[in-house]
Amino acid sequence: MHADSINFDIAWKQSRYDKEGPGGDKAAYVNCPMDQAQYEAFIAALNAGAKTEFKDWEKDTPYFEGCLPIEVMAERGPETLRFGPMKPVGLMDARVGKRPYAVVQLRQDNKLGTLFNMVGFQTKLKYGAQEEIFRMIPGLENARFARLGGIHRNTFLNSPKLLDSTLRLKAEPRVRFAGQVTGVEGYVESAAMGMLAGRFAAAERLGCALEPAPHTTAFGALLAHVTGGHLTDGKGSFQPMNVNFGLFPPIDAPTHGPDGKKLKGEERGRAKKLAMAERALGDLAGWLAASIAPAPGPP
């Protein structure tokens, strides 16, 4: 979800047992607290929520027990989640001076800090049900979701660890990857990674250096995410990514319309996206101009 849609009047930052992360941060997680009634209502909503049905040929594929969908855990018993990803141990809601009954933890998803993911929240609930049920979580009443949860079998590389910024295998740079296998998702994203891999390969063959596309463009933002921007925790938290505005560096968007009126809510969001898109087009044109190979000189 987009970081700026989390309600920090309710949610707070704290790592379990204030344990320091690798970067020395004792508050690497955002915690959304629930009391007993809120937790019970949440479990009931999960059990009742519309789920995606498996096709016949998928039915026998076992789940990976280490990361079961939340609705499957809820089905196993009302307390399962409270002893799983929603356990409140080691956390203190300082505003009410006690440990919450249950907690949903969010973790920063990109270096920019504009996106957060829900820890341990795999799900095959239908998208509409996800938005409705996840907004029941205190602190997420107005959450805007950049990517909803889904389950399908997908084979992809742990690219933040394995690939360099031009999609080469660090351990064997003559091998370059393209498309979905790099950890992107979707037709356009896969084609974009194919085009980038092709341009990098061509530039290398022609002996001219080609910088990765700027982070301010969709090509560059996605490439930067899969080849390093994702905060990898070494436990396989890297998941395929669609392109979305949360991957772009922030921008000072207009606060007032052409008529001088202050922009509000959705209008402001639209103005911000437009400003990001205009910046992207300008920067992409610059990158493309710089990346045209010089004509070979006379023999």
Ligand X SMILES: Cc1cc2nc3c(=O)[nH]c(=O)nc-3n(C[C@H](O)[C@H](O)[C@H](O)COP(=O)(O)OP(=O)(O)OC[C@H]3O[C@@H](n4cnc5c(N)ncnc54)[C@H](O)[C@@H]3O)c2cc1C
CA distance 222 to 248: 9
Of 1-9, 59-67, 121-129, 177-185, the window that binds ligand X (rule: CB under 6 A) is 177-185
Question: Can you read off the two tokens belonging to residue 157?
Answer: 């590389």
Strands (E), the chain: 12-13, 29-34, 102-108, 116-118, 168-169, 172-176
Q: Is 158 in the site for ligand X (CB under 6 A)?
A: no
Residue 185 in the binding site for ligand X (CB under 6 A): yes
Q: Which of 238, 209, 232, 214 is closest to 224 using CA atoms?
A: 214
What's the CA gap between 17 and 265, in Å, rounded? 37
As a whole number of angstroms, the distance between CA 178 and CA 176 comes to 7
21, 84, 150, 186: which one binds ligand X (CB under 6 A): 186
Q: Looking at beta carbons only, is 103 or 184 nearer to ligand X?
A: 184
Considering the rule CB under 6 A, would residue 244 count as an interface residue with ligand X?
Answer: no
Choose the binding region for ligand X from 55-63, 115-123, 169-177, 183-191 (rule: CB under 6 A).
183-191
Q: Tell me: does residue 187 bind ligand X (CB under 6 A).
A: yes
Site for ligand X (CB under 6 A): which residue of 5, 190, 239, 291?
190
Q: How far is the CB of 182 from ligand X (least distance, A)?
A: 8
- What's the half-sphere exposure (Cβ side, CA atoms, 13 Å) at 256? 5
Q: Which of 160, 179, 228, 269 binds ligand X (CB under 6 A)?
A: 179
| Cα radius of gyration (the chain) | 22
Decide if residue 160 touches ligand X (CB under 6 A): no
DSSP state of 125: B
In the shown chain, the binding pattern of residues 48 to 77 toward ligand X, with x for contact by CB under 6 A and - for none, equals ------------------------------
CA dihedral 253, 258, 264, 265 (to 10 degrees): -60
**Strand 102-108, strand 12-13: pairing:** unpaired
Shortest distance, position 185 Cβ to ligand X, whole Å:
5
Give the residue with the Cβ less far from ligand X, 57 or 187.
Answer: 187
Residue 179 or 249: the one with the smaller Cβ distance to ligand X is 179
Nearer to ligand X, 150 or 254 (CB): 150
Interface ranges with ligand X (CB under 6 A): 152, 179-180, 185-187, 190
